[in-house]
Amino acid sequence: MNKTETLDFLKKLVDRAIAFGFEEAEASFSSDSHMEINIFEGEVSSYENSNTSGIAFIGKKNGQMGGASTSDFSDESIEYILKSSMENCEVKDDEDEDFFYCDPDNSHLVNDERSGHYDKNTYNRFSQLGLKLEQDILAISPDIKAVDYLSISCCCGPTYLANSKGLTMYKDGDLVFVMAEARAERDGVVKTGGHFWAGHNIDDFDEAKFLQKVGNKVLGKLGASSIESGSYKVVLDKEAFVSLYDTFESNFSAYSMQKGLSLLAGKEGEKVASDCFTIREEPMYKDALLKFPFDDQGVITYSKAIIDNGVFVKALHNLKTANKEGIPSTGNFFKGIKASNLVVTPGNKSFDEILETVQDGLYITELNGLHAGVNRISGDFSLFCEGYLIKNGRIERPVEQITVSDNFYDLLKKIEEVGGDLEAVEEGVGEYFCPSIVISEMNIAGSNEEEG
């Protein structure tokens, strides 16, 4: 079915649901085409080319919402999802009402981000690139013994939605990904490291830059040892800061605050971070791979500060949490309340200038155990980490076997400086755009005595 036929089908399904007994209803159709190859030891070890599609339905009855989905488009299947959704409504007892939405001025929403380059993503193109890339990674250094994982993949597919309020939505786009992880060994010590690239056009893949990243991330770990336990000034690498912030991002949602799961509840307009720290949501950010002109509920998104010069500006809302507080939604429902394309306002100093300012401290590049070593409510965390010792304003040597312990809320207040080395990190809804972050002090548990 084409776009018009698909939306007409969904509208008929919604009309059928109203006749079935639902007060309001919403139906969506999504299709996903995916191709992936994996390279291992000079061969294409696996190849997948798939296309999946399905219908999802949500109906509202007596203030409760129930849903079901199917990949079967028969009349029998449609009757089944309507019946199942009605049964779900009857057993639910949520005191906070859910809503369907349609802005009369924005009732027909379209976000078509198809690049026009997707046809370049062929098996032959991917396999040739992958086999060459594996060889080139191995050639970076004799210390690199293997490429344990190398994947090249792409995906595309439209999503259509229609509801009984009169809203129709259409979204489409495509992406291509390259991911590799290498293994290095020196003096019996094994280290791994890798890199990830995403784009719209496989022609934009810069192999030289990718190889440099992989080499730095794996070879830079060789010769690492612990450091003496203590309090250190820390430069958090952009990827490390993003992984930490993303772990606690749910604390900025109104849902978490209303449920007593976030210490930010009631702190809008208050100082929660350092003066030099600003993080904004920029759904239509010019450098982002994906743009988000509206959220999954059909609410128009907009640029906004979450923390502005240290002040917590506003909680993120969907329709349900906003209604509970009698305010409009902030347009932040993306299969949960989340921000799209977060941007940390950069400073002016290069990475080398940041190191020069710090003089002596620790540069943390990786935080491990984020799913186990954090308390999302209190903000406390204790995580294994890796990085480099900073001496006299320069990277001196790699560091391992250390643990960093702190509190997320305290860390925001201890941000001393924000670097100017802004880069995209693929995480969350869209991307984060983040520079290096200097923390005035963090507690590090290492060895009793610094090893040479």
On whether both 277 and 412 belong to a single domain, the answer is yes
Give burial (CB, 10 Å; 0-12/13-18/19+) of 5. Answer: exposed
What is the pLDDT confidence band of residue 450, given thresholds at 50, 70 and 90? very low
Residue 225 in any domain: the answer is no
Helix, strand, or coil (residue 363): strand
- What does the alpha-carbon distance between residue 259 and residue 325 come to, in Å, rounded to a whole number? 13
pLDDT score at 448: 62
Q: Per-residue pLDDT averaged across 353-378, rounded?
A: 95
Report the CATH number at residue 62. Answer: 3.30.2290.10
* Boundary of a domain, candidates 175, 196, 219: 219
pLDDT per position as a tens digit, 315-359: 999 999 999 999 999 999 999 999 999 999 999 999 999 999 999
On whether both 207 and 247 belong to a single domain, the answer is no
Can you give the residue range of the structural domain that contains 365? Answer: 230-445
* Boundary of a domain, candidates 176, 191, 219: 219
On whether both 281 and 211 belong to a single domain, the answer is no
On whether both 346 and 283 belong to a single domain, the answer is yes
Residue 39 in any domain: the answer is yes
What's the total number of domains in the chain? Answer: 2
In the predicted structure, residue 430 carries a pLDDT above the cut 80: yes
- What does the alpha-carbon distance between residue 252 and residue 262 come to, in Å, rounded to a whole number? 7
- Looking at every residue in the chain, the average pLDDT score rounds to 95
Q: Per-residue pLDDT averaged across 23-38, rounded?
A: 96
In the predicted structure, residue 424 carries a pLDDT above the cut 90: yes
On whether both 124 and 264 belong to a single domain, the answer is no
On whether both 289 and 437 belong to a single domain, the answer is yes
pLDDT per position as a tens digit, 67-76: 999 988 777 8
What CA dihedral angle connects 230, 235, 239 and 242, to 10 degrees? Answer: 80
The closest of 239, 249, 244 to 340, measured between CA atoms, is: 249
pLDDT score at 322: 96
On whether both 241 and 154 belong to a single domain, the answer is no
Tell me if 411 sits within 8 A of 196, measured CB to CB: no
What is the pLDDT confidence band of residue 261, given thresholds at 50, 70 and 90? very high
Residue 224 in any domain: the answer is no
The closest of 359, 245, 338 to 295, measured between CA atoms, is: 338
The closest of 234, 251, 237 to 408, measured between CA atoms, is: 251
Residue 135 in any domain: the answer is yes
Give burial (CB, 10 Å; 0-12/13-18/19+) of 342. Answer: buried
Amino acid making up residue 431 = E
pLDDT score at 202: 98
In the predicted structure, residue 63 carries a pLDDT above the cut 90: no
DSSP 94-136: -SSPP----BTTB-EEEEEE--S-GGG--HHHHHHHHHHHHHH
On whether both 113 and 256 belong to a single domain, the answer is no
pLDDT score at 19: 95
pLDDT per position as a tens digit, 230-256: 999 999 999 999 999 999 999 999 999
* Boundary of a domain, candidates 180, 200, 219: 219
